[in-house]
Amino acid sequence: MYFTDRGIEELAGRRGQDVMSMERLADALRTFVDEHPEFETAIDRLATWLARLDDDEAWHAGDDDGEFDERDPLDEPHEKE
SS3 content of the chain, % helix, strand, coil (to 5): 55, 0, 45
> Per the structure, how many domains does the chain have?
1
**CA 42 to CA 62: how far, in whole Å?**
28
Coil, strand or helix: which one is 1?
A: coil
User: For the chain, first and last CA: distance in Å?
Assistant: 39
pLDDT value, residue 78: 45
Alpha helices, H only, the chain: 3-15, 22-35, 40-51
In this structure, is residue 33 part of a structural domain? yes
In this structure, is residue 28 part of a structural domain? yes
- The string of pLDDT tens digits covering residues 16-72 is 899 989 999 999 999 999 999 999 999 999 999 999 888 865 455 445 554 545 556
pTM of the predicted protein model: 0.60
In this structure, is residue 47 part of a structural domain? yes
